[in-house]
Amino acid sequence: MVQITVFIVIGAIIISMAAAMYTYTQNQTNFITANAGEPIIVGPVEYTISFDGTSKGTKEIVPENTFVKIKITAKNISKENTILSGGQFFLIDDKQKKHLPADGGFSADGLLEPNKPVTVTTQFDVPYDDLKKYNVLIHPAKQQTSVDIALICIINC
């Protein structure tokens, strides 16, 4: 009787460990790296990110530091509409600090239709130094339920 109980307990422990390991591997973040200009797929969207220069702003919009502009071309490669928003993009400076877009050309509804590429330019207000390395981090939208995260080197790769 005791032997059967010990066998059942050990079996339950092994099964629960296997289930936990399977769940862990299915939800493990997949980091993808690329350089500016290279297409990269995050979830159902293919992105091409390129450095589009710097700016001191306009009379209406003046940055605290310098605007670093990037051009984003996004193409939905799935069969359903998906989301594209500025909150998916972060500029990572040389100190590994994340910066959200300060101003961007994202549409109000943020829908990205299948096989219709969209190009937007967005900018980040950062203390810019042309000798330092800058990366763009792309997170999938919550709707996309993807574990992919992309890191694209845009300056001084």
Write down the domain spans for the chain: 31-155
Give the predicted TM-score (pTM) of the model. Answer: 0.78
**Fold observed for domain 31-155:** Immunoglobulin-like (2.60.40)
Core vs surface per residue 96-134: b (16+ CB within 10 A) or e = eeebebbbbebeeebebeeeeebebebbbbbebeeeeeb
Least confident range of 1-5, 76-80, 115-119: 1-5
- Joined together, the tokens standing for residue 139 give 């997170």
Number of H helices, E strands in the chain: 1, 12
Is 35 or 108 the better-scoring residue by pLDDT? 35
* pLDDT, the chain, mean: 88
Rounded Cα–Cα distance for residues 8 and 102 (Å)? 58
Query: Cβ atoms within 10 A of the Cβ of 41, count?
Result: 15
Query: Cβ atoms within 10 A of the Cβ of 152, count?
Result: 27
